[in-house]
Amino acid sequence: MDVIPVKRPKRGTDSNSINWKTIVNKRIPVTAWIPHYTLATFFQDIVAGFTVGLTEIPQAIAYAIVAGLPPQYGLYSGLLDCIVYFIFGTCKDVNIGPTAIMALMVQPHVEKLGPDMAVLITFLSGAIIFVLGLLHLGFLVEFFSYPVIAGFTSAAAIQIGSSQIKSLLGIPGKANEFLEAWISVFKNITHISWWDSLLGVSTIILLILIKQVGRYGNRNSRPEFSTTRNILGKVLWLCSIARNAVVVIIGTLIAWILYTNGIKPFKLTGNIGKGLPTIQLPPFSTVFNNQTYSFVDMIKQYESSIAFVPLIAILEHVAIAKSFAKGKTIDATQEMIALGLCNLSGSFIRSMPVTGSFTRTAVNNASGVQTTLAGVVVTAMVLLALGFLTATFAFIPKATLAAVVICAMIHLIDYKAIITLWRTKKMDLIPFIITLLASLLVGLEYGILIGICSNILFVLHSSARPSIEIEREKFPQGDVFVVTPSRSLQFPSAEYLREKVIQDCYDPKVTVVLNGKYINNVDATVAKNFKVLADDLILREQNIIFWNFKMNVRNICKGVDQKLVDFFKDGNLQDIIEAAAPNGVPTLMVRF
C-alpha cells in the first residue's frame, strides 16, 4: 500500500451524488480511506510516526540553526504541516517538514532582516504553490532535468555541510557560503576547540557505526530465530532508524552531567523558547535593528528567491512522492495543493518553509507506515517536545547538531549521478558540473538558473543539429542519395538540413530523396527551407523527392507553396524513381 487509494463510486448511483463524492475524495483524500481504517493499521502508523518523530525533532532544531533561526522555529515547522498533509496528502510515506535545502535558501534573508523573513516567504511560497496546483502548472518542474537537479542537490548538500564545519570544530563566528565557510575555517584554525572537535568527530563516527550495525536488525519478527534474537534485531533496527535522536540524547546527557558539575567544555544550543506557538497573521512588515521595513521592502529583499523557493519545494516534494510511489500514479496537482496548504497554515504559527523530506520519508517507509495518519503522531511528539523538553534542549551541544547535519548531507550528495551520466550520455555531465560549480560559487538560486540555461542551450543545440543519415543507393535508373533525419524538424534545424544536403549530396543529375519516416511535424520555417532546398537542387540539375511524409507535414508545406506538394511521393522507392526517370535518366519533376 504505497499510495492511498481513492475509492471509486459505484455505478448506478445518482450522477450528482457521484460527482460530489468523487470531487471530495480526490481533493480531500482522507475521506476516501478513513472509513476503512482499522485498529491494526492504526498501531502500525503509531510505530512509524514515533520513529519519524525521533528523527524529526533533532533535525528540525538543526535545520532551524542552519537557517539562522531560533531552534523552536524548526519545531514549529513540524506541527500543522503534518496534520494538513494527513487530510490533503496522497502519498502515505511522505513526511512534510523543514529540510536542509529550504533552510539554506532562506538563511540569507533571515540574516538581512530577521526571522520574519522566513515566516513571510513561507506564506508567499504556500500561496504560490497552491495557485500553481489549482492551475495545473506542475509541468514547470519538467524544466529541471536530472543533471541540473543532481548538481543543485549536491551543491546544496556540500554548502550546508561546509557551513557546519565551524560548529563541528568549535570555531567562533558564522559563515554560510561555501567559499566563505572554508576561508573562515582556515583563518581561524588556531581557535579550534578540541573538546567540541572531539565530540563532533566522535558523533559522526557513532552515527556511521549505528547505521552499519542497523543492517543486522529487522523490524519484522522471524519465527525461525529465538525470541531474544527477534528482540535484539528490532532494537538494532530502531536504533539505526532513530540514530539522530540517539546521538543527540547521548551528547545532551554528557553536556548536562558536565555542566551541572561546573565543567563547561562545549558550546551549547542555548535556551529554546518554551511553550506552544501562538496563532497569528504572517508578518507583512517587520522591525529589524530599530528600522521598520514594509511589505514591499521585504519582497524586494527576496529577489529571485520568491520564485525559486516554491519551485524547489515543489520539485523536492513531487520527486520524493514519485520515488516512493513504487509504480503507482501520483496526483501531482493534489500534492501541490497539499504542499501549498502546509506552508500557508504553517506561516500562521511562525514556521519556516517546508517540503517533503527524503530522509524522514525513507524512515517512514522503512517503519511500515500505512497512511498519512502517522504524521499526526509526529505532530503529537513535537508538541510534547515543545511543552516539556525545551529546558533539556538547551544542553544540546552545537557540535552534535553539526555532526547530525553533516552526516545527513553526506547521503544527500548524488555521487551516483557522475557514474550514471558517464555511462549514459557524457555530454550531460556539462550541465551537471556547471550547476554544481555555479551553485557553490555564485549562490543556489543563480546556480540553478545558470544550470537550467546551460541545459536549454544543449537542448537547442541538439534541436539545431539533428542526426541526419545520408546513404547513396544504386537503382537501375541511377544512383540516389537517401537523406533520413532522425526526428521531427523545427526552425533551429531548418538551415542545417539544407546545408547538409547541399554539401554532402553534391553530384549533378543524382536524385536526392528526403525520407520523412521519422518526421512527425515541422514548422513554417522548415517548410520554407524545403522549398529553398528544392530550388537549389533544381538549379544544379538534381531531382528531389519527399518520401514517406505524413499528411500534416504535407499540408504545412502546401501552405508555403502549392507546387511543393508535387514533390511528395509514397510507396516503393524503386517504383517512384522509375516513374521519375522512365528512360533510365533522372528528370526534373517540377520547376518553380
DSSP string, 260-300: HTT---S-B------SPPPP----SSEEETTEEE-HHHHHH
Whether residue 223 is predicted with pLDDT greater than 50 in this model: the reply is no
C-alpha cell of 356?
517533503
Average pLDDT of every residue of the chain: 84
Within this chain, do residues 238 and 355 fall inside the same structural domain, yes or no? yes
Domain stops at, among 372, 390, 415:
415
Would you state the pLDDT for residue 463? 80
Does 178 map to a domain? no
Q: What is the mean pLDDT of residues 243-255?
A: 89
Does 438 map to a domain? no
Beta pairing, strands 286-288 & 355-356: unpaired
Whether residue 8 is predicted with pLDDT greater than 80 in this model: the reply is no
Does 232 map to a domain? yes
Residue/partner pairs of 446-455 with CB below 8 Å, 24 or more apart: 446/304, 447/151, 447/152, 447/155, 448/144, 448/148, 448/152, 448/308, 448/312, 449/304, 449/308, 451/147, 451/148, 451/151, 451/152, 452/143, 452/144, 452/148, 454/430, 455/145, 455/147, 455/148, 455/431
Within this chain, do residues 227 and 289 fall inside the same structural domain, yes or no? yes
Does 239 map to a domain? yes
Does 242 map to a domain? yes
Does 426 map to a domain? no
Would you state the pLDDT for residue 583? 43
Within this chain, do residues 491 and 363 fall inside the same structural domain, yes or no? no
Within this chain, do residues 407 and 294 fall inside the same structural domain, yes or no? yes
Q: Which positions ≥6 away from 79 have C-beta within 8 Å?
A: 277, 346, 349, 351, 379, 382, 383
Tell me which H or E stretch contains 337: helix 332-346
Per-residue DSSP letter, 479: E
Domain stops at, among 394, 415, 436:
415
What confidence category does residue 211 fall into, taking pLDDT thresholds of 50, 70 and 90? confident
Within this chain, do residues 395 and 481 fall inside the same structural domain, yes or no? no
Would you state the pLDDT for residue 5? 53
Q: Which positions ≥6 away from 586 have C-beta within 8 Å?
A: 477, 478, 509, 510, 511, 543, 577, 580
Within this chain, do residues 474 and 405 fall inside the same structural domain, yes or no? no
Does 434 map to a domain? no
Q: What is the mean pLDDT of residues 296-301?
A: 92
Q: What is the phi/psi pair of residue 28, to 5°?
A: -130, 75
Give per-residue pLDDT as tens, 102-114.
998 999 999 999 9
Give per-residue pLDDT as tens, 262-286.
888 888 887 777 777 889 999 999 9
Q: What percent of the chain has pLDDT over 90?
A: 23
Give per-residue pLDDT as tens, 542-577.
888 999 898 988 888 888 888 888 889 888 888 888
How far is 532 from 248, CA to CA, in rounded Å? 73
- State which residues form the domain around 539: 468-578
Within this chain, do residues 405 and 498 fall inside the same structural domain, yes or no? no
What confidence category does residue 455 fall into, taking pLDDT thresholds of 50, 70 and 90? confident
How far is 582 from 367, CA to CA, in rounded Å? 77
Q: What domain count does the chain have?
A: 2
Within this chain, do residues 295 and 410 fall inside the same structural domain, yes or no? yes
Does 274 map to a domain? yes
What's the CATH code of the domain at 512? Answer: 3.30.750.24
101, 102, 103, 108 alpha-carbon torsion, rounded to 10°: 100
Indicate the range of 245-249, 386-390, 417-421, 438-442 predicted with least confidence.
386-390
Q: Is 336 helix (H, G, I), strand (E, B) or coil?
A: helix
Within this chain, do residues 244 and 327 fall inside the same structural domain, yes or no? yes
How far is 226 from 223, CA to CA, in rounded Å? 7
Nearest to 542 by CA among 513, 584, 518, 566: 513
Q: What is the mean pLDDT of residues 505-525?
A: 86
Within this chain, do residues 124 and 262 fall inside the same structural domain, yes or no? yes
Would you state the pLDDT for residue 303? 87
Domain stops at, among 396, 415, 434:
415
Would you state the pLDDT for residue 197? 92
Would you state the pLDDT for residue 222? 43
The model carries a pTM of: 0.76
Q: For the stretch 320-353, what's the b/e string if a residue is b when 16 or more beta carbons lie within 10 angstroms of its beta carbon?
A: bbebbbeeeebbbbbbbbbbbbbbbbbbbbbbbb
Nearest to 142 by CA among 322, 358, 332, 315: 315
113: number of Cβ within 10 Å: 20
Whether residue 335 is predicted with pLDDT greater than 60 in this model: the reply is yes
Whether residue 540 is predicted with pLDDT greater than 80 in this model: the reply is yes
Within this chain, do residues 124 and 266 fall inside the same structural domain, yes or no? yes
Within this chain, do residues 366 and 488 fall inside the same structural domain, yes or no? no
Q: What is the mean pLDDT of residues 43-54?
A: 88
Would you state the pLDDT for residue 426? 86
Beta pairing, strands 511-515 & 286-288: unpaired
Q: What is the mean pLDDT of residues 171-181?
A: 77
